[in-house]
Amino acid sequence: MTLRVRVSVSMILLLIMSLTTTPARAATAGDVVSAQPTTVYLLPGKLLEVPVNAWHILYNSTSAIGALNAVSGTLLVPKSGYPLGARPIIGYATGTHGLGDQCAPSVSMREGREAELALVSLFLLKGFAVVVTDYEGLGTPGQHTYMAGISQGHAVLDAVRAATRVPGAGLSTRAPVAVMGYSQGGASAGWAAQLQPTYAPELRLRGVAAGGVPADLHAVANHLDGGENFGLAAAAGVGLDAAYPELDLEADLNDRGRALLADAADDCVGDLDRLAGLRFSDLSPIDLLNQPKWLARLAENRLGAVAPRVPMFLYHARGDEIIPLAVGSTLRSEYCRAGANVRWTALPAPDHVTGAVEGGPLAIEWLTLRILGLPAFGNC
């Protein structure tokens, strides 16, 4: 009799546990894997600490081929309160830093050598939180999928999602959101705009600013072939190969190409100068860019096929020697034809870097008006 009672009680306890225990939730994009307090500096030597609460975050995102991955980044939140409701969140996409983990924005911010903190600080001074992704494979295991736009767009959107889930950050899922980026970051911002309605529809995206956008990678690669900035085109080949295994870049290279690209696989952007003047034909016996497998992936990562649903601010230097003005203006035309609300500015800047300096403050003020709910007027 006693045994029966014990068995019955055990069965009842198991039944109660089965009804009350919540199964572990599967990991999803935007989940925070870890968030560790960090410090960021404006100058090398750990000088001029940025007076914000900061976290180095690791979060889940999605690769270009739909696989769950882990991406790192940095979340910056002003210490002062925000008086106008939920604190806005800016998804900031940096320009090209390189291929090696030591080049990641989170590393350069901790070491006081991140030039783009000058622009990020303008958002922080307005009381906005800023989350800066390192992108897939930059600061985490694996090769950086440099210029794989779909992966980069996912990384930006998931960084914003993760920012709202960092304990102690005080950020709301109902916060207004904006995205900004230039060069590689401009492509990332453009992809975030195109992907957001289907990939992250819950985000309250108000506007996207994208400058110096390499919207058409095939056109940009042809432009850079044989020029002083060829290293950027070669790096994009390495990045796309990392994103899409079927490209199998190494198999199509000659011995010189394999040696050069293996050596460049952990370079920061300044080190890519050693590839200046080379051509794709110096690295491979075949016409790489016009192979069907490359044409397919380059087309897949070409911006402009889908009109963003939020207002866009596009800006481009007239004298851009890296991303031709025609590439940016074509993107503007395609978005306009598709009915997007686009504000386009062709800057007098004589080169690519100056375009970031001239256009950055304009983009920040335009995004601020969108965050505040003012209407955007395009100039298509």
Q: Helix/strand/coil (H, E, C) string of the chain?
A: CHHHHHHHHHHHHHHHHHHHCCCCCCCCCCCEEEEEECCCEEECCCEEECCEEEEEEEEEEECCCCCEEEEEEEEEEECCCCCCCCCCEEEEECCCCECCHHHCHHHHHHCCCCCCHHHHHHHHHCCCEEEEECCCCCCCCCCCCCCCHHHHHHHHHHHHHHHCCCCCCCCCCCCEEEEEEECHHHHHHHHHHHHHHHHCCCCEEEEEEEECCCCCHHHHHHHHCCCCCHHHHHHHHHHHHHHCHHHCHHHHCCHHHHHHHHHHCCCEHHHHHHHCCCCHHHHCCCCHHHCHHHHHHHHHCCCCCCCCCCCEEEEEECCCCCCCHHHHHHHHHHHHHCCCCEEEEEECCCCHHHHHHHHHHHHHHHHHHHHCCCCCCCCC
Query: Average pLDDT over the chain, rounded to whole?
Result: 93
pLDDT of residue 26: 83
Residue found under tokens 């256009």: 359
Q: What is the mean pLDDT of residues 35-44?
A: 96
pLDDT greater than 60 at residue 283 = yes
pLDDT digits (tens, 9 = 90+) for 97-156: 999 999 999 999 999 999 999 999 999 999 999 999 999 999 999 999 999 999 999 999
Q: What is the mean pLDDT of residues 346-352?
A: 98
pLDDT digits (tens, 9 = 90+) for 192-233: 999 999 999 999 999 999 999 999 999 999 999 999 999 999
pLDDT greater than 80 at residue 18 = no
Q: What is the mean pLDDT of residues 51-60?
A: 98
Separation between Cα atoms, residue 281 and residue 137, nearest integer Å:
28
CATH topology assigned to domain 217-299: 434 Repressor (Amino-terminal Domain) (1.10.260)
Q: What is the mean pLDDT of residues 170-188?
A: 98
Q: Where are the domains of the chain?
A: 34-213, 217-299
Measure Cα distances from 370 to 33, 136, 222, 224, 374 in Å. Answer: 31, 28, 36, 35, 5
pLDDT of residue 24: 55
Determine how many CB atoms are found less than 10 A away from the CB of residue 243: 25
Q: What is the mean pLDDT of residues 314-330?
A: 98
pLDDT of residue 376: 97
pLDDT of residue 9: 35
Counting residues of the chain whose pLDDT is more than 70, the rounded percentage is 93
Task: Tell me if domain 34-213 and domain 217-299 are identical in fold.
Answer: no
In this prediction, residue 10 has a pLDDT band, given cuts at 50, 70 and 90, of very low
pLDDT of residue 369: 98
108: left (phi over 0), alpha (psi -120 to 50) or beta: alpha
* The Cα angle at residue 326 between residues 341 and 359, in degrees rounded to 5: 60
Q: What is the mean pLDDT of residues 9-15?
A: 34
pLDDT digits (tens, 9 = 90+) for 85-112: 999 999 999 999 999 999 999 999 999 9
In this prediction, residue 46 has a pLDDT band, given cuts at 50, 70 and 90, of confident
In this prediction, residue 7 has a pLDDT band, given cuts at 50, 70 and 90, of very low
* The Cα angle at residue 260 between residues 280 and 263, in degrees rounded to 5: 140
CATH topology assigned to domain 34-213: Rossmann fold (3.40.50)
Q: What is the mean pLDDT of residues 231-242?
A: 97
* The Cα angle at residue 179 between residues 223 and 154, in degrees rounded to 5: 75
Handedness of CA 161, 167, 172, 175 (dihedral sign): negative
Indicate the residue type of 274.
R
pLDDT greater than 70 at residue 165 = yes
